[in-house]
């Protein structure tokens, strides 16, 4: 989860498209079939480490070139597009570009207050309709666009308080306000705004009153509440149970996560402010922290707000079966599901260098994926960059 230090946004936007006009919630539609996913959180077995040995169809490990220019601190986000790997390093506020073989190409690193600079990077995504990189700076409140080689294109002011931004069609954006106080900009606040390329609001969804939250810290999802599947942007929130597809500015219900007794009680928002804040502070509920999907599977991470553990799950679209565990192993080694994304039929993850360097190979015959590991370990230390792994699951 992310915490930010914000600076004051200029009031310029107040005299443009908003003008504090009252806006009502736009209509939400539904897909022809809404899929309900019901993770299981009870039972002794789900707390035990789970082996993925029988569930991995194939895997590719990628060692990233290391030099003074390509030293990665902490990977926050990864994406792959047109045979290149794009990595956002939250420690240095940089975006690194590699080939699929791990060869370093270039990086974006322009910290400052200049016309082509940012103060820090909070989110990163790829607008695959326009083949442009999107970087979000929630300290300076800028969104920046680059071409796929990392060359600067434009810088644009974000006009009101948000905690997430994602590209939509025609170079527009979906903005996730996440209960922020936007009363200086809107008479009615909304969690989700669909805006055009000039940041003019086109649609708005999920009204709320920020006064109910006061000074409470409201966490944002791991990737800002958005992901892409089949060229469409998708939205979800940690405090609701539904995943929505953004289809040409229309919001459509697509998936529902049934968290049962652990679901956040949204009805309490309509009760007294004191009652709601007391419930919120107790954190006796769970939320969806991350969602991704490809044609065969849905990956999801759920988080209990009063616990230190996150749960990592997979939903098989074909069978409807679910895996949901805290810890996974592959070949008796801890398998990280961090910084996830998708690439064709593969899921992407990053394996920390200290974890990969301690990878234990069996003493006898080894399989093809272990052969990859053995070859990398011949010239790998804890000082190297993390390993990128692309893994494809079998239906289960």
Say yes or no to pLDDT of 349 above 60.
yes
Question: Is residue 30 a part of any domain in this protein?
Answer: no
Predicted confidence band of residue 32 (pLDDT cuts 50, 70, 90)? confident
User: Which range of residues forms the domain containing residue 200?
Assistant: 36-393
| Residues present in the chain in total | 396
Q: How far apart are CA 387 and CA 222, in angstroms?
A: 20
Joined together, the tokens standing for residue 65 give 């070139």
pLDDT averaged over the chain? 91
Residue 171: strand, helix, or coil: helix
Least confident interval from 21-30, 125-134, 162-171, 262-271: 21-30
Domain count, the chain: 1
Predicted confidence band of residue 9 (pLDDT cuts 50, 70, 90)? very low
- The percent helix, strand, coil of the chain (3-state, each to 5) is 10, 40, 45
Hey, which residues does 284 pair with through a beta bridge? none
Q: How many CB atoms lie within 10 A of CB 276?
A: 19
Average pLDDT over every residue of 234-254: 93
Predicted confidence band of residue 310 (pLDDT cuts 50, 70, 90)? confident
Q: Which helix (H) or strand (E) holds 356?
A: helix 353-357
Predicted confidence band of residue 136 (pLDDT cuts 50, 70, 90)? very high
Can you give the pLDDT at residue 21?
56
DSSP 27-50: PEEEEEEEEEE-----SGGGGS-E
Can you give the pLDDT at residue 322?
96
Q: How far apart are CA 225 and CA 174, in angstroms?
A: 10
Question: Is residue 328 a part of any domain in this protein?
Answer: yes
Q: What is the pLDDT of residues 362-381, one digit of tens each?
A: 988 999 999 999 999 999 99
Predicted confidence band of residue 393 (pLDDT cuts 50, 70, 90)? very high
Question: Is residue 18 a part of any domain in this protein?
Answer: no
- CATH assignment of the domain containing 215: 2.120.10.30
Say yes or no to pLDDT of 5 above 70.
no
Can you give the pLDDT at residue 11?
39
Average pLDDT over every residue of 130-138: 98
Closest CA relative to residue 42, chosen from 269, 325, 265, 266:
325
Question: Is residue 15 a part of any domain in this protein?
Answer: no
Average pLDDT over every residue of 247-267: 92
Can you give the pLDDT at residue 109?
98
Can you give the pLDDT at residue 338?
82
Question: Is residue 28 a part of any domain in this protein?
Answer: no
Average pLDDT over every residue of 102-116: 98
Cβ contacts of 42 within 8 Å, gap of 6 or more: none
Can you give the pLDDT at residue 61?
98
Can you give the pLDDT at residue 187?
94
pTM of the predicted model as reported, rounded to 2 decimal places? 0.91
Question: Is residue 7 a part of any domain in this protein?
Answer: no
Q: How many CB atoms lie within 10 A of CB 177?
A: 23
Instruction: Round the CA-based radius of gyration of the chain to a whole number and report it.
Output: 21
Q: What backbone phi and psi angles, to 5 degrees, belong to 281?
A: -70, -30
Predicted confidence band of residue 2 (pLDDT cuts 50, 70, 90)? very low
Can you give the pLDDT at residue 40?
82
**Measured CA angle at 43 (ends 296, 332), to 5 deg:** 60
Say yes or no to pLDDT of 17 above 80.
no
- Alpha-carbon separation of residue 260 from 36, 41, 44, 59, 204 (angstroms): 12, 10, 18, 34, 28
Measured over the CA atoms of residue 238, residue 239, residue 241 and residue 247, the dihedral's sign is negative
Say yes or no to pLDDT of 278 above 90.
yes
Can you give the pLDDT at residue 241?
93
Residue 261: strand, helix, or coil: helix
Question: Is residue 8 a part of any domain in this protein?
Answer: no
Q: Which helix (H) or strand (E) holds 204?
A: strand 201-208
Note whether 305 and 287 are within 8 A (CB). Answer: yes
Question: Is residue 65 a part of any domain in this protein?
Answer: yes
């Amino acid at each position: 989860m992310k915490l930010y230090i914000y600076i004051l946004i200029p009031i310029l936007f107040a005299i443009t498209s908003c003008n504090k006009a009252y806006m009502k919630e736009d209509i939400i539609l539904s897909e022809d079939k809404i899929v309900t996913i019901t993770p299981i959180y009870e039972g002794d077995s789900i707390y035990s480490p789970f082996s993925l040995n029988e569930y991995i169809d194939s895997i590719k490990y990628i060692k990233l070139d290391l030099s003074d220019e390509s030293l990665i601190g902490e990977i926050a986000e990864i994406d792959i597009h047109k045979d290149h790997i794009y990595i956002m390093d939250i420690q240095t506020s940089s975006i690194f570009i590699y080939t699929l073989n791990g060869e370093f190409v270039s990086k974006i690193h322009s910290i400052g207050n200049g016309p082509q600079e940012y103060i820090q990077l909070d989110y990163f995504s790829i607008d695959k309709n326009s083949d442009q990189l999107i970087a979000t700076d929630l300290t300076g409140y800028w969104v920046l666009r680059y071409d796929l080689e990392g060359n600067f294109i434009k810088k644009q002011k974000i006009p009101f308080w948000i905690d997430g931004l994602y590209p939509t069609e025609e170079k527009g954006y979906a903005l996730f306000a996440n209960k922020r106080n936007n009363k200086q900009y809107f008479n009615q606040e909304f969690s989700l705004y669909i805006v055009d390329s000039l940041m003019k609001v086109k649609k708005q969804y999920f009204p709320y009153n920020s006064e109910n939250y006061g000074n409470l810290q409201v966490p944002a999802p791991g990737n800002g509440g958005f992901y892409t599947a089949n060229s469409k942007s998708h939205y979800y929130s940690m405090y609701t149970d539904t995943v929505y597809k953004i289809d040409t500015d229309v919001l459509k219900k697509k998936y529902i996560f049934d968290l049962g007794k652990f679901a956040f009680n949204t009805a309490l928002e309509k009760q007294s402010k004191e009652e709601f804040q007391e419930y919120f502070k107790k954190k006796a509920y769970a939320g969806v922290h991350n969602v991704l999907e490809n044609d065969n599977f849905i990956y999801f991470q759920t988080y209990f707000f009063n616990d230190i553990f996150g749960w990592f799950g997979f939903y098989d679209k074909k069978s409807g079966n679910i895996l949901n565990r805290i810890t996974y192993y592959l070949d008796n080694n801890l398998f990280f599901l961090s910084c996830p994304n998708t690439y064709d039929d593969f899921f992407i993850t990053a394996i920390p260098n200290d974890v990969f360097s301690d990878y234990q190979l069996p003493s006898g015959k080894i399989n093809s994926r272990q052969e990859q590991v053995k070859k990398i370990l011949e010239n790998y230390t804890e000082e190297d960059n993390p390993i990128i792994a692309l893994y494809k699951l079998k239906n289960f």
